[in-house]
Amino acid sequence: MKPNLIVGAGTALQHWQDAQCLAHMPQTTLTQLVPEGARAVVIAPHPDDEVLGFAGLLQQLNAARYPLLLISITDGTASHPGSTFWPVEQLAEQRAQESKEALRRLGIAREHMSWLRAGFEDSHVADREHAVAAFVERHLQPGDVVFATWREDGHSDHDAVGRAVGHAAIAAGATLYEVPIWTWHWAHDQDPRVPWHRARKLNLSPDAVARKRHAAQAFTSQLQADPSTGQGPVLSPLVLERLLQPFEVFLVPE
């Protein structure tokens, strides 16, 4: 078992705002990431990851009218263990609705986007890694550009999705970019555990960041404390602020 890296308050926003690794990170552009004519496929382990990791990218893809496929691997039903306020069946419905509302807030045109809910069990993706890889591979085509969570992101579902999609992308002849999400919680500037040499920064306009912020606010189940268990919000204000910087980071293939 790997140690759980997602503990405590995590790395401060100010640390990242001062970080040399980010200040000197090479920039990329939408057309460098996704060649014209290619389809983009965004793969979210949980409902909300598509916004936290990719909302800026999604807006740029939508504005440039790229064909887009979003795959939600789980329905996110493990966010409130033991809760009577958020029973599992209700969470599955609620979190899908939150994603739908967030995509609406991002202005994603539904006619340019297909959306698949794969229905794997939240927090157990690693147990079904081969099935996830097979599922994703079935929906990929050669030349697709795929975006998934980084396989060392530090959350077992994110890591498993990164590995599974890695296999599927190779098998399908697709390109894969991996995205750190929880990494911002446990890593630090120049952290040797992060392959900074592979990292590229996609800059977001102030308007795109504002839309991302508004979209993130659609995940109400993740933003409120749970009165039945006393658990604080899954997405604390600090977690959210760290993910609302004016850029998104993509790890290019090795």
CB neighbour class for 27 (10 Å; exposed up to 12, middle 13-18, buried from 19) = exposed
Which residue lies nearer to Zn ion by CB, 145 or 235? Answer: 235
- Contact (Cβ atoms closer than 8 angstroms) between residue 132 and residue 125: yes
Q: CA-to-CA distance for 108 and 117, rounded, in angstroms?
A: 17
The 49-78 site mask, x for binding Zn ion (CB under 5 A), equals x-----------------------------
Residue 185 sits in the site that holds Zn ion (CB under 5 A): no
Residues binding Zn ion: what is the number (CB under 5 A)? 3
CB of 68 to Zn ion, least distance (A): 20
Q: Quick count: other Cβ atoms within 10 Å of Cβ 55? A: 27
Which residue lies nearer to Zn ion by CB, 41 or 172? Answer: 41
Residues 102-161 that bind Zn ion (CB under 5 A): none
Which residue lies nearer to Zn ion by CB, 56 or 76? Answer: 76
Give phi and psi for 69, each to the nearest 5: -120, 125
CA geometry: angle at 57 spanning 53 and 58, to 5°?
95
The 32-51 site mask, x for binding Zn ion (CB under 5 A), equals -------------xx--x--
Q: Which secondary-structure segment (H or E) carries 194? A: none
> Which residue number has the CB closest to Zn ion?
46
Residues lying near Zn ion in the complex (CB under 5 A) are found at 45-46, 49
